[in-house]
Structure formats: C-alpha cells, structure tokens
Structure 1
C-alpha cells in the first residue's frame, strides 16, 4: 500500500466524521463505513424521513447537527461514504470483512480509525422485559428519527444529563411526561459545581431544561429510581421509590404510576467488540466498560489502529469530535503531510479543549456513578441474560459456588453466549463479580467472529 490509500474509518458519528473532515482539510482521502443510511450517529443523525417541523429538537442540537453536516460536506471530495454497511470483523492482515446490502466484501486499510460509539448499559429489574420499557437511547432514536412517539404517558428513570434533555424532547413531541426520577441526590450534583464550570454553556443549557420542566409542571425527583414494572403483555404501571446514597430503594415509601412507556437510562458502555476482536489491549472502566489502551494521539496498542469517540471512553459528542481530529492529525504526521512541530501546533488547541471537556464530564461521572443498590432490583426469577434466558438465581448460585471470573460465570450459566455477545448482560455480570469481592483478573466476555450473525444460506450464495 502507498500513502495514497484512503484512511478507513469505522463509524460515521461525531468522531468518525470529524476525523474524515480533518483528514480532508489536509488533503488525505478517507472511507467512512457507516451501518446506518446517513452520517451523524445516534446523537446527530437526525430524522430518517422528511419532516416539516421538529419541535422536539432543541436549538443547540439542531446547530450541532448542522455543524456536523457542514464539516462533512466542506470536505466531501476527500471522503467516500459506505452507508448501510456493517463490519463483521477483521479478516487477514490489514483487512475488514463487510456486509453491505447482503453482499460480503473486504476492505483493506493502511491506517484504521475505530469510531464505533457506545451502547446502553442494561439494568435488570422485575418487569424490564415488558413491551413499553425502553432504554433512553432507544427513546431518543425514535423521536429524533422522525417524531415517532414511544408512548402517550411516560416516565423516565436513571441518572445523568440525558434525563432532563429527553424529558423536554418528549414533552415537546406531545407526550405526557408524568415524572423524571434521578437516582443521585441533588447534594451530590452541587459538589461538582467547579467541574461543571469547565463548560458553562452546557451547564446553562441544563439549567434551561430544568426551567422548562418546572414551567410545564413536569416533576423532577432527585434521589428516586425504579423498583419494578408491571403488566401482562404490555407495560401498565411502574413502581418507583426513594434511593439512599447507595441507590438502595426504600420500598416502604414506594409509589405506583400508571404509564404505557418507560425510558430507562443508567448510562452507556463503550462499543468495543471490534477493537477487542482485533486484539487491541483493553482495560476496564467502571464508567465506560472495556476501553482500549491509548496514547495521547488516540493510537492503540496495534500498529496503525486508532480509536476515537465513545468507543475509547464515554466523554460525549464534543469530546468525540476532538478525539477524531487528534487521530487524523497524527495520521497526517505519520504520512509526512505534517511535521512533528506542525502536528503539535494543529493538535495543541484541540487537546486543551479535550482536557476541559474531560474535567466537565468527570464531574458528571462522579455524580452518576453506578451504585450497588441497582444490583438488588432483579428478583431471583428475573432474566438477566435475554439471549440465554439466564436468571439472577443462576448467577447467585454460581457466585456462591466460588466463581471469580467472567469465563467461569459464562460456563456455569451461559450468560453472554447468545447472539448479542454480551452487549446486554456483560455490565451486569461484571458488576455482580465486583459486588462479590472479585476485582482482579475477572476478564471480559470476548467477542466472536463474525460480530453479526450470518445465515448459512447467505454464505452459500456468495
């Protein structure tokens, strides 16, 4: 391969698009592999259909979406977009196996940027499998992708800045939001005031959202959270209760709310399956799950492979943009397009901005840190691994028998062996191991090739 080969970028969200645009500014071509039909990722993709009005999307979000599109189109001649394309995993050296429109192909790379984003952290509780119980990202995807209402009467439970944002979006889209329940105490948020001043505009935006909720009489409860959900074939009601500092529910003061939909948001974890399959060194973060070990240039332990955005640790869209730009600048230096001094000059301002964003985000991370009380919500009969129908009772028995690592827990219970390869249950499994006192060498649920199932009949046609 030569330096004229395009840089391959997996993921067309904020990080991947910013990396491609930065490379384009420096005259370097790139190919973005995006599994959706348009760029932007879940955050900035916007509607998948034409709409005359989007009253549920706030002005800041619209500006950010427009900025991403502007960045992309300004450098479009240097970017090739492969939309509706999924990466099934590495194949051979410096090559990925792709599935586009049910056709398998390979793409070779000289440098690779992984910007695969994140997926939601699932918290099992009684009734969490009922239709109408949705994770917060799923709720956002519905209303952002063309004003699809997830329900008529909703409540939101969880922690972090998504709660007030989604509550405002739901109300503006015509949904009756009966209550928002933030697991952490307000006093804990107040302690992070200095950290939040690193991004004063974002902090003011959050205050504006809280003002909107108050103006429209939407209750926002600090120190409250989910206990259970009720219904037969669909969600009918939920039970919420005050949480103590460890997020243990005070069921004596529980309340029941009639709703037909529930948004649950207890955080996200890095989408690291492809990076793990490629052999990148990883470490475990209580906030982000398994994340690759990177240097200040987003360079991984594998030569010519970079990781940017939420797949390298959850810092938000603005930080993802910075990380994509940093990786692109380093690639430009490695190709001789920039000298070391020029690369440092280009990256210096971006790195300083990233440091401010990290300080801001770490404040929220401390406020929203997952507490052990959430592990007590699942009943013995509650399914904690949806693919294999593994229950909490089976996990309890395995731990009582002395299981101390993920591999052993997987062998005893089949947890993590299903088609989703542990995306739903891995965080719960690790949290339970930590709760039982196992913190060293517990391992991870290792992904398998291919990352998405391929029907045998499909293979025969190739």
Structure 2
C-alpha cells in the first residue's frame, strides 16, 4: 500500500486526535510526522505520569485502559510515524512549512497536508482573589496529580460547572486530599432536562453517577446551584467564599459560606486552542461555548485545502470523539491518495460520523447545562485584574466600553488586553463575554495571534545565526 503515498503529512498534537490520525494513516501504509511540545504522547488527558510513582490510586480503571489503548495504538504503528516530542510549533514558515523549536535549536518542517490537533485550554474566569497562590484551574490540578501524585493542597474546594467537577473531586480524594466541598454553578433541575442527550453515551453517564455516589459515600458535599464569590489570603490562599447562585448565576450573598482551604480548583469550561490555525490563515467563527473555532466542512477540511482540523481544536467533544475525528481526517487523506476505494471510503466515514454524532448530542446536553451566565461577570471588582500579562484591571475595560469600544481590537488598543506573552489566551474569553453581554455580538472581532506563538530565546537565535 505504501506506493499510494503522494503527500508529506505533518500532524501537530500527539493527543487522542493526533495519535489516532497517525495510526489510521499507517493502516493504509501512509507515513507522517507527529509533533508535540510534551515529553510524552497522549495529550493532557492520556499522557499519564511524568515520573515514576509506587502507586497512582487517583487514576480510575477506565482512564488507565484508555491511556494504555492509545499507547498500544501508537506502538503498533510507530514504524510509520516520525515522532518529534518536546517540540514547539512557533508558526508558519513560508507557504507550506512550520517553524519548530526544540530545546537546543530552531528547525523547519515542510508539508503538503497538515492536520491540526492542538486541543484546547481552560477558560479563565476572574474574581476577587483569583491570582492568589493556591487558586488553580482544575485541569492544572489534574496535571499535578497525573504527573506522579503531586497533591495540589491538603484542604481543597472545587467550583465551576460540568463533568470535570466530580471527576477531579474523586481523584483528589483518592490521592489523600481533603475535599471540603464541590460547588456546581447550575441547578440539578437543569441537568435533569438533559436526560435524553446524556443517554447517547450511557457508559459515560453511568460513570458520572458512580462518581457522585463515591462522593456521597465519603461525605463530600456536592452542591448544585452554588459557586465562587471570592478567594482570600495574605501571601497565599487561606479561605474562599461560596454562595447559592440564581438562574443567571448571580450570587446570593445573604447565604454565603466561608471555607478554610489551602487550594481552590476552578473550572468553567474550555476554549479551543486555535492560535496556530489562525496564524496559518484558517477561517474561524465565534461560538459562545468554545470561543473561536475553525470553519470546517463535513470531512474536517478547513478553509485552506491543505489543512485539516480535528479533536478539541474545533470544539470540545471529549477524548473519544477526538479519536473518531482523528480517524476521519486520516480516512479523508487516504482516500485523496487513492489508498482506499470510494465504496470503502464512504462506508468508513459513515460509521465514524454516526459515532461522532452521538458524541455531539451527548456533549450538547452538557453545553446547555453548563452554559455560562452573566452572573460570572459580576464577580470582579473595579480593581480586579482581568489580564495577568499586562495587569489590566476591570475598571480599564469598563472605561473602554463606556467610550464606545465594540470589538476586541478596540479593547486591545485602549487597555492592552491581549498584548502580553499569552496573546490573549487568558483574558480574551472574559473580554469577549463582556462585549457579548454589552450587545456587540455582531462586531466582536478577534485578537489575532502574533508570530512567533511562543517567545524565542536569544540563545537559539544566536545558534541559528552562527550556523548560517
């Protein structure tokens, strides 16, 4: 089959989508290069421990099986996959190349077809005290645990919305942390409305119910319709205030509760990681759930013929769906290179799309349940920092809106939001929500990523200059 290969394929991202795409291509005898900035394959979800530990009680059996399956998938096909780990993609180089940064040098890789599987990052929600040491995004907590059982704190509270809350709570408890409470912003009655959607993935739904049962068995409070008000402490976190939320997530301060904790996990959803896709010129559209996502056809091809996008980069559907989409992209690439017949192509894609549709219906239920409400925007005070890189405070954003700013570019010029090293990954979601709430949905605009996506150390520039 190897004779059918005509394209030089590069996949960016070695998570579930990227690895499944590479392995599926290998089934048709198609080689590829797989690039990832981490030291191991698997992405945030399936990467596993970064160091040896005697035991990992917080990793449940389902997760261990999924991690093992992904590794087996790669190992079985690795002879056809050129893997480049600990390699950052800094942006485009020429018309069909990428500039890469390893630990010691800058290099370039050319492609004729590119698959972007860059995943997502967590959504930051500013509130009083959110910059205190001890306040973490829940994904960061998971990374600490998965890296080799590093507990993020001894007394922990979790706030936010969505299925990650009970999962992280169970993992923390199994790792030996005291979980003083889990606070889901939406009400249980809203989750009950999504029963039909959740039945599209009965195993996942049952897994979620088992987590809630585990929390109840161990007397860990799980409260619906509650959320964060503020975090307090001198040099580090010492307490948090939570309160009941109304339907629009406005806190009822008359019923506020104060919790003594040394760590707080915050999780209000994810944003598609599309900076590279934008820098390459792929067309995007704004979604209230996942921010800006690439415009794709039914086979995951972007507005640029040579670029496909799969996994959480085009909207959060979860690891199982990411694996399906990786296979879809690979199947399309194989068909274009005449590595499978038209009949086989349509049969394969039809099966994959049916599975993906189930995942979309399941996720849509959670998206409706966890949809952010305007009460979150009321958690900040005028002097609350909303952009960490440039230390922009909410009152500066308030003034920009009062002066007529109706899009992100105007906000950026007036406040410097999005001008820092993170290029708006942390602050643009909050700014977009503010613009949306102010009624500027048709003029939102976007903070365009800058080249390079990550700062280049001067030492590498010197080395490259000497090599030239």
- Output the TM-score relative to the length of structure 1: 0.99
Q: Which residue does the alignment assign to 1:402? A: 404
User: What corresponds to 2:91 in structure 1?
Assistant: 89
Q: CA deviation at 1:457?
A: 4.0
Q: Residue 139 in 1 paired to residue 105 in 2?
A: no
Paired residue for 1:16? 18
**Cα-Cα RMSD:** 0.9
Q: 2:348 aligns with which of 335, 338, 346?
A: 346
Mean Cα deviation higher: 64-73 or 172-181: 64-73
**Rounded Cα–Cα distance in structure 2 between residues aligned with 1:103 and 1:335:** 33
Cα distance between partner residues in 2 of 1:144 and 1:69: 16
Q: Is the 8 A contact 1:132 1:234 kept in 2?
A: yes
Q: Distance in 2 between matches of 1:457 and 1:342?
A: 51
User: Partner of 1:451 in structure 2?
Assistant: 453
The residue aligned with 1:114 is: 116
Match of 2:272 in 1: 270
- Equivalent residue, structure 1, for 2:185: 183
* Offset at residue 178 of structure 1 (A): 0.1
Query: Out of 369, 372, 377, which is 1:370 matched to?
Result: 372
Deviations 1:87-136 (A, max 9, x none): 00001011000001130000001111000000010000000000000001
Matches of 1:275 and 1:49, distance apart in 2: 32
Count of residues in correspondence between the two structures: 461
Q: Deviations over 1:159-200 (max 9, x none)?
A: 000000000000000000000000000000000000000000
- TM (norm. structure 2) is 0.97
Q: Does structure 2 conserve the Cα–Cα contact (< 8 Å) formed by 1:6 and 1:28?
A: no
CA distance in 2, matches of 1:322, 1:300: 17
Secondary structure (helix, strand or coil) at the match of 1:240 reads strand
CA distance in 1, matches of 2:104, 2:135: 31
Shift of 1:53: 1.4
What does 1:49-128 align with in structure 2 at a 5 Å threshold? Answer: 49-128=51-130
Partners of 1:340 and 1:119 lie apart in 2 by: 37
Match of 1:227 in 2: 229
The structure 1 residue matched to 2:334, chosen from 325, 332, 335, is: 332
Shift of 1:5: 4.7
C-alpha distance in 2 between matches for 1:43 and 1:377: 30
Q: How does 1:253-402 map to 2 (within 5 A)?
A: 253-402=255-404
What is the distance in 1 between the residues matched to 2:418 and 2:172? 33
CA contact (8 A) 1:5 1:29 kept: no
Report deviation, 1:232: 1.3
Q: Is the 8 A contact 2:6 2:337 kept in 1?
A: no
State the shift of 1:349 in Å: 1.0
**Secondary structure of 1:208's partner?**
helix
Greater mean deviation of Cα atoms: 48-57 or 289-298: 48-57
* Paired residues for 1:196-207 under 5 Å: 196-207=198-209
Deviations 1:186-235 (A, max 9, x none): 00000000000000000000000000000000000000000000011100
Q: Report if the CA contact (8 A) 1:57-1:169 is conserved.
A: yes
Deviation at 1:246, TM superposition (A): 0.4
Q: Which runs of 5+ in 2 are unaligned?
A: none
Deviates more, 1:6-15 or 1:449-458: 449-458
Per-residue deviation, 1:19: 0.2
Counterpart pick for 2:151 among 136, 149, 152: 149
Q: Quote how far apart the aligned CAs of 1:303 are.
A: 1.4
Distance in 2, matches of 1:126 and 1:110, equals: 48
Question: 1:224-256, CA deviations, whole angstroms, 9 ceiling, x for partnerless residues?
Answer: 000000011100000000000100111111010
Gaps of 5+ in 1: none
Once residues 457 and 8 of structure 1 are traced to their aligned partners in structure 2, the CA distance between those partners, rounded to angstroms, is 27
Counterpart residue number, 2:210: 208
Question: Partner of 2:413 in structure 1?
Answer: 411
Query: 2-side partners of 1:455 and 1:107: how far apart?
Result: 20
1:410-449 pair list within 5 angstroms: 410-449=412-451
**How far apart in 1 are the matches of 2:325 and 2:202?**
21
Instruction: Give the secondary-structure state (helix, strand or coil) at the position aligned to 1:440.
Output: helix
Q: Is the 8 A contact 2:183 2:224 kept in 1?
A: yes
Q: Which residue of 1 aligns with 2:173?
A: 171
Deviation at 1:455? 2.9
Does the C-alpha gap of structure 1 residues 332 and 88 become closer, same or farther in structure 2, counting only changes over 3 Å? same
Match of 2:258, SS? strand
SS at match of 2:304: coil
Aligned equivalents of 1:102, 1:295: Cα separation in 2:
38
